[in-house]
């Protein structure tokens, strides 16, 4: 006899699959080793094959031996993820470590499959109906084997050994589904009881197995399974149905999902042999009645080991600099070529691969502060100060700001408070009216000393000379008269608020020819009329006042200067009633002429590649300042100009 083995897989999840062994590590490693055949080693090309005689801790290194030589080389610290490792080749290399898998499609969920095949179930959602039919059939016709109840799933009825009989399937309503009414159907798919049955015959499957039909279910009515005994040429011969196996699940809940049951058998095969030579001869030479019955036993009952299933790394969380990337790592196990998720405890014999890792696509450009803060733009009050801030690449070049994280950009401008300012002179525009209608007169303006509260540039304090509040005006000569002559009062010097008005007082001598001006002492005996008096036409309400212009912010290449402008009422309090269209300017440009750097004719570059010195930031050293004087000077001038503009 010869001991043969074969596997019968009952898939109780969704599909029927044949079992398969894990892929050979020799092939996978051989492909990786052969990739180095065209890369010289120590100046010579070799053909490489896997070298597996290494300790377990080195199983996930790519060790390759030169074919025809006695040495081996570690070509890579890690083999490709998923390369089998270990002595039994059931483990996989993941991230350089030899590690080992299914239930609810998620690793680490803590759920396991119960005996009903339900992920996380409590064995209460189904019951298994199974059996083996071994009875002899003496009568011709249909013989009922088993009843399949309504709601059955994962139906499998298989004749484990070929026979001259046929399987048949019929519903309780009397409808024949497979091989009914003494007719033999072709192998194929047949619909019945709400599901699809797959009918197979020996010429389609293993040479030793008989007929079978399978269905996913669930069924919607009761079905009966029969064996049809055909007419034998030998009427005395009794047909034996050998190992007709049937099993199916009856679900208590329609949503239950079942897992895989793997049943393997091995059995003996008998040959007719010569008693003397033990050489196999024709079976006809042996007495068929004395042929031993085949013996079978279960084998390969243990499940395939679980393993870590590793997903692809996600994109790095940052486009530059140190970021994170993640991947899914599941504990999975193979059942009949279908891989399902299982509880992580199944993989406890393997080191769990990392699910997160640091990553860096490139070194980020970074913000650099290239100068100290400038002095405050004003000696008192609120002003501003600035400094140079640049985005600098990892090689030291200035790059566009967009290459740096704008959220992290240091401030290059900030406010500065130099404390309360001294008082400043505020004055209005000159009045348009002269105090005298003829001759010399005056015109006036309002002058006040107020505390400067909102200044951006230096302003004079009130300690300086007070601005004039009156100036001479002349509207032409007047006609003379005798005695003290008073002219009419001039218009009020202020259109609103308190002002002055004047008149001419002269000593005149009247004659027929007219009036002759006399020296004042000629009229000294007469009371001299007042020449000036206060006047007020109406309340001003509000009027614009402003200070002197500040110093220019730059001496060349365009700066600006400012002054403070306020709207004040008659009582010299701040108001908001002034006409905005008449508001004096608070800021104006100044010193627009360009800055002319001094040119030193002796400052020249002594080398042709001084641009490299500038890029390498070597101009800070005296040696390079001298040898690359022109290039370094240009850079220094640009940086100085940039600071002034900031």
Closest by CA to 567, choosing from 379, 428, 430, 369, is 428
* Strand partners of residue 329: 310
Question: Using CA atoms in the order 212, 215, 220, 222, what is the torsion angle rounded to 10 degrees?
Answer: 20
Two tokens, residue 111: 């759920």
**With b meaning 16 or more CB within 10 Å and e meaning fewer, what string describes 538-548?**
eebebbbbbbe
Integer Cα distance of 593 and 591 in angstroms? 6
Q: Where are the domains of the chain?
A: 126-251, 366-417, 422-446+462-596, 610-645
Which positions of the chain have pLDDT values less than 50? 1-25, 101-102, 106-109, 205, 231-242, 253-264, 298, 336, 455-459, 481
Look up the pTM and report it: 0.27
Closest by CA to 510, choosing from 476, 531, 478, 479, is 479
Asked if 125 contacts 113 with a C-beta cutoff of 8 angstroms, the reply is: no
Asked if 234 contacts 162 with a C-beta cutoff of 8 angstroms, the reply is: no
- Any idea which fold 126-251 has? Jelly Rolls (2.60.120)
The secondary element (H helix, E strand) that includes residue 625 is: helix 622-627
Asked if 72 contacts 66 with a C-beta cutoff of 8 angstroms, the reply is: yes
Q: Which long-range contacts (CB under 8 A, 24 or more apart) does 341-344 make?
A: 341/101, 341/102, 341/103, 341/104, 341/105, 341/106, 341/107, 341/109, 342/101, 342/102, 342/103, 342/107, 342/112, 342/113, 342/306, 343/103, 343/108, 343/109, 343/110, 343/111, 343/112, 344/107, 344/108, 344/110
**With b meaning 16 or more CB within 10 Å and e meaning fewer, what string describes 269-302?**
eeeeeeeeeeeeeeeeeeeeeeeeebebeeeeee
Query: Exposed, middle or buried, 122 (CB in 10 Å: 0-12/13-18/19+)?
Result: exposed
Asked if 531 contacts 569 with a C-beta cutoff of 8 angstroms, the reply is: no
Residue 551 per-residue DSSP state: P
């Amino acid at each position: 006899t010869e001991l043969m083995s074969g596997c019968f897989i009952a898939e109780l999840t969704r599909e029927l699959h044949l079992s398969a062994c894990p892929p050979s590590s020799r092939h996978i490693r051989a492909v990786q080793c052969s990739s180095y055949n065209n890369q010289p080693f120590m100046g010579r090309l070799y053909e490489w094959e896997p070298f597996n005689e290494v300790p377990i801790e080195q199983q996930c290194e790519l060790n390759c031996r030169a074919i025809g030589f006695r040495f081996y080389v570690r070509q890579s610290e890690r083999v490709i993820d998923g390369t089998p490792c270990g002595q039994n080749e059931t483990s996989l290399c993941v991230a350089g470590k030899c590690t080992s898998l299914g239930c609810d499609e998620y690793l680490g969920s803590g759920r396991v499959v119960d005996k009903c095949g339900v992920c996380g179930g409590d064995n209460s959602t189904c019951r298994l109906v199974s059996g083996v039919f071994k009875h002899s059939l003496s009568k011709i016709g249909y013989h009922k084997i088993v009843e399949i109840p309504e709601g059955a799933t994962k139906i499998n009825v298989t004749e484990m050994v070929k026979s001259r009989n046929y399987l048949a399937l019929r519903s309780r309503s009397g409808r024949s589904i497979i091989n009914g009414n003494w007719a033999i159907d072709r192998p194929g798919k047949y619909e019945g009881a709400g599901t699809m049955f797959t009918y197979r015959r020996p010429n389609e499957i293993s040479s030793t197995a008989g007929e079978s039909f399978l269905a996913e279910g669930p069924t919607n009515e009761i079905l009966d399974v029969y064996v049809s005994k055909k007419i034998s040429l030998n009427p005395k011969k009794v047909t034996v149905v050998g190992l007709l196996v049937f099993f199916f699940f009856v679900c208590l809940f329609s949503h239950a999902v079942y897992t895989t049951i793997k049943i393997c058998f091995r059995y003996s095969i008998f040959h007719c042999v010569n008693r003397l030579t033990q050489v196999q001869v024709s079976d006809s030479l042996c007495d068929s009645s004395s042929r031993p019955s085949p013996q079978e036993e279960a084998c390969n009952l243990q499940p395939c080991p679980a393993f870590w299933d590793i997903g692809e790394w996600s994109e790095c969380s940052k486009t530059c600099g140190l970021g994170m990337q993640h991947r899914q790592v599941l504990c999975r196990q193979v059942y009949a070529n279908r891989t399902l998720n299982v509880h992580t405890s199944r993989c406890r014999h393997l080191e769990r691969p990392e699910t997160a890792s640091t990553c860096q696509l490139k070194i980020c450009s970074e913000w650099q502060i290239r100068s100290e803060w400038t002095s405050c733009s004003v000696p008192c009050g609120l002003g501003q100060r600035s400094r140079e801030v640049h985005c600098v690449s990892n090689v030291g070049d200035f790059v566009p700001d967009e290459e740096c994280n704008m959220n992290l950009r240091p401030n290059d401008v900030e406010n500065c408070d130099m404390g309360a300012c001294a008082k400043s002179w505020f004055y209005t525009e000159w009045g348009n009216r002269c105090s005298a209608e003829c001759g010399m007169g005056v015109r006036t303006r309002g002058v006040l000393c107020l505390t400067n509260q909102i200044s951006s540039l230096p302003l004079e304090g009130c300690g300086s000379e007070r601005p004039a509040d009156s100036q001479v005006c002349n509207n032409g000569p007047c006609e003379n008269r005798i005695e003290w002559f008073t002219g009419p009062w001039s218009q009020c010097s202020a259109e609103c608020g308190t002002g002055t008005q004047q008149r001419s007082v002269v000593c005149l001598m009247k004659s027929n020819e007219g009036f002759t001006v006399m020296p004042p002492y000629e009229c000294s005996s007469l009371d001299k009329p007042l020449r000036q008096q206060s006047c007020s036409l109406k309340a001003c309400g509000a009027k614009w006042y402003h200070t002197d212009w500040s110093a220019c912010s730059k001496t060349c290449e365009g700066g600006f200067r400012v002054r403070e402008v306020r709207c004040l009422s008659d009582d010299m309090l701040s108001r908001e009633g002034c006409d905005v269209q008449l508001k004096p300017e608070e800021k104006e440009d100044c010193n627009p002429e360009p800055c002319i750097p001094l040119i030193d004719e002796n400052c020249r570059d002594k080398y042709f590649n001084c641009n490299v010195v500038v890029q390498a930031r070597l101009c800070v050293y005296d040696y390079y300042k001298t040898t690359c004087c022109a290039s370094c000077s240009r850079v220094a001038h640009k940086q100085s100009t940039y600071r002034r503009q900031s």
